[in-house]
Amino acid sequence: MSGPVQVLVIGFEAPSFSGEVLAELTRLRERGVVRLVDVLLVERGDDGTFEILDPPPGSDPDLGKIAAQVLGGGGEADGDVPVDEAWSLADAVPPGGVAAVALLEHLWAEPLLAAIGRAGGRPLGELWLPAGEPPG
Protein backbone atom coordinates (compact mmCIF):
# COMPACT_ATOMS: atom_id res chain seq x y z
CA MET A 1 0.00 0.00 0.00
CA SER A 2 1.28 3.41 -0.84
CA GLY A 3 -1.47 5.84 0.20
CA PRO A 4 -3.07 6.30 3.61
CA VAL A 5 -5.72 3.72 4.51
CA GLN A 6 -9.07 4.74 5.97
CA VAL A 7 -11.27 2.42 8.02
CA LEU A 8 -14.82 3.25 6.88
CA VAL A 9 -17.73 1.70 8.79
CA ILE A 10 -21.08 1.73 7.01
CA GLY A 11 -24.23 0.67 8.83
CA PHE A 12 -27.10 -1.10 7.10
CA GLU A 13 -30.72 -1.53 8.12
CA ALA A 14 -31.32 -4.26 5.51
CA PRO A 15 -28.23 -4.91 3.35
CA SER A 16 -29.00 -5.74 -0.29
CA PHE A 17 -25.46 -6.20 -1.68
CA SER A 18 -26.64 -5.30 -5.20
CA GLY A 19 -23.09 -4.62 -6.39
CA GLU A 20 -23.71 -0.89 -6.86
CA VAL A 21 -21.24 0.15 -4.15
CA LEU A 22 -18.50 -2.15 -5.47
CA ALA A 23 -19.09 -0.79 -8.99
CA GLU A 24 -18.58 2.76 -7.70
CA LEU A 25 -15.40 1.73 -5.88
CA THR A 26 -14.15 0.14 -9.10
CA ARG A 27 -14.83 3.41 -10.97
CA LEU A 28 -12.92 5.37 -8.30
CA ARG A 29 -9.99 2.93 -8.46
CA GLU A 30 -9.84 3.27 -12.25
CA ARG A 31 -9.61 7.06 -11.80
CA GLY A 32 -6.76 6.67 -9.27
CA VAL A 33 -8.80 7.99 -6.33
CA VAL A 34 -9.20 5.02 -3.95
CA ARG A 35 -8.55 1.30 -3.83
CA LEU A 36 -10.66 -1.11 -1.80
CA VAL A 37 -8.11 -3.06 0.22
CA ASP A 38 -10.69 -5.26 1.95
CA VAL A 39 -14.19 -5.29 3.36
CA LEU A 40 -15.54 -7.19 6.35
CA LEU A 41 -19.22 -7.72 7.16
CA VAL A 42 -20.12 -7.81 10.84
CA GLU A 43 -23.20 -8.05 12.99
CA ARG A 44 -23.23 -6.82 16.57
CA GLY A 45 -25.47 -8.76 18.91
CA ASP A 46 -27.71 -7.09 21.47
CA ASP A 47 -25.20 -8.28 24.10
CA GLY A 48 -22.44 -6.26 22.35
CA THR A 49 -20.53 -9.20 20.84
CA PHE A 50 -19.54 -9.22 17.16
CA GLU A 51 -20.03 -11.96 14.62
CA ILE A 52 -18.27 -11.93 11.25
CA LEU A 53 -20.80 -12.56 8.48
CA ASP A 54 -20.10 -14.64 5.39
CA PRO A 55 -19.23 -12.69 2.24
CA PRO A 56 -22.07 -12.31 -0.29
CA PRO A 57 -22.44 -15.20 -2.76
CA GLY A 58 -19.92 -14.98 -5.60
CA SER A 59 -17.45 -12.90 -3.55
CA ASP A 60 -13.82 -13.81 -2.96
CA PRO A 61 -13.83 -16.37 -0.09
CA ASP A 62 -10.89 -14.49 1.49
CA LEU A 63 -12.91 -11.27 1.66
CA GLY A 64 -12.60 -9.72 5.10
CA LYS A 65 -9.43 -11.48 6.27
CA ILE A 66 -7.17 -8.40 6.10
CA ALA A 67 -9.78 -6.20 7.80
CA ALA A 68 -10.30 -8.81 10.52
CA GLN A 69 -6.54 -8.84 11.20
CA VAL A 70 -6.38 -5.04 11.34
CA LEU A 71 -9.40 -4.78 13.63
CA GLY A 72 -8.27 -7.71 15.76
CA GLY A 73 -5.85 -5.45 17.59
CA GLY A 74 -2.47 -7.11 17.11
CA GLY A 75 -0.89 -4.04 15.49
CA GLU A 76 0.05 -0.60 16.71
CA ALA A 77 -1.57 2.69 15.82
CA ASP A 78 0.36 5.95 15.45
CA GLY A 79 2.60 6.46 18.46
CA ASP A 80 2.51 3.94 21.28
CA VAL A 81 -1.27 3.54 21.56
CA PRO A 82 -2.50 0.03 20.67
CA VAL A 83 -5.12 -0.04 17.89
CA ASP A 84 -7.83 -1.37 20.23
CA GLU A 85 -7.33 1.62 22.57
CA ALA A 86 -7.21 4.23 19.79
CA TRP A 87 -10.43 3.15 18.05
CA SER A 88 -13.08 0.54 18.64
CA LEU A 89 -15.58 -0.96 16.24
CA ALA A 90 -17.98 -0.99 19.19
CA ASP A 91 -17.90 2.83 19.11
CA ALA A 92 -19.27 2.77 15.54
CA VAL A 93 -21.73 -0.14 15.38
CA PRO A 94 -24.70 -0.11 17.77
CA PRO A 95 -25.95 -3.31 19.41
CA GLY A 96 -28.21 -5.14 16.96
CA GLY A 97 -26.53 -3.41 13.99
CA VAL A 98 -25.05 -4.78 10.77
CA ALA A 99 -22.08 -3.03 9.16
CA ALA A 100 -19.55 -3.26 6.38
CA VAL A 101 -16.04 -2.31 7.48
CA ALA A 102 -14.08 -1.19 4.44
CA LEU A 103 -10.35 -0.52 4.26
CA LEU A 104 -9.90 2.16 1.59
CA GLU A 105 -6.46 3.18 0.37
CA HIS A 106 -6.50 6.85 -0.69
CA LEU A 107 -4.36 6.80 -3.83
CA TRP A 108 -4.86 10.52 -4.45
CA ALA A 109 -3.14 11.36 -1.14
CA GLU A 110 0.20 9.66 -1.85
CA PRO A 111 1.75 12.59 -3.82
CA LEU A 112 0.35 15.09 -1.32
CA LEU A 113 1.84 13.25 1.65
CA ALA A 114 5.15 12.94 -0.18
CA ALA A 115 5.16 16.72 -0.78
CA ILE A 116 4.31 17.37 2.86
CA GLY A 117 7.20 15.11 3.91
CA ARG A 118 9.65 16.84 1.57
CA ALA A 119 8.58 20.17 3.12
CA GLY A 120 9.43 18.79 6.57
CA GLY A 121 5.82 18.31 7.66
CA ARG A 122 3.80 15.35 8.84
CA PRO A 123 0.08 14.79 9.38
CA LEU A 124 -0.93 15.25 13.03
CA GLY A 125 -4.61 14.39 12.83
CA GLU A 126 -7.69 14.33 10.66
CA LEU A 127 -11.43 14.72 10.89
CA TRP A 128 -14.02 13.91 8.27
CA LEU A 129 -17.10 16.12 8.30
CA PRO A 130 -20.34 14.35 7.34
CA ALA A 131 -21.77 15.35 3.95
CA GLY A 132 -24.05 18.35 4.22
CA GLU A 133 -22.41 19.61 7.43
CA PRO A 134 -21.00 23.10 6.88
CA PRO A 135 -17.80 23.86 8.80
CA GLY A 136 -18.04 26.33 11.63
Q: Among 68, 125, 89, 73, which residue's Cα sits nearest to residue 9? A: 89
Report the pLDDT value the prediction gives residue 133, as an integer from 0 to 100: 62
Residues 15-73 pLDDT 10s = 777 778 888 988 999 999 999 999 998 999 999 999 998 887 778 888 899 998 888 75
Domain segments of the chain as ranges = 5-118
pLDDT in tens, 72-91: 754 443 433 344 445 688 88
Residue 82 vs residue 93, higher pLDDT: 93
CA–CA distance, 133 with 108 (Å, rounded to integer):
23
Residue 93, exposed/middle/buried by CB under 10 A (0-12, 13-18, 19+)? buried
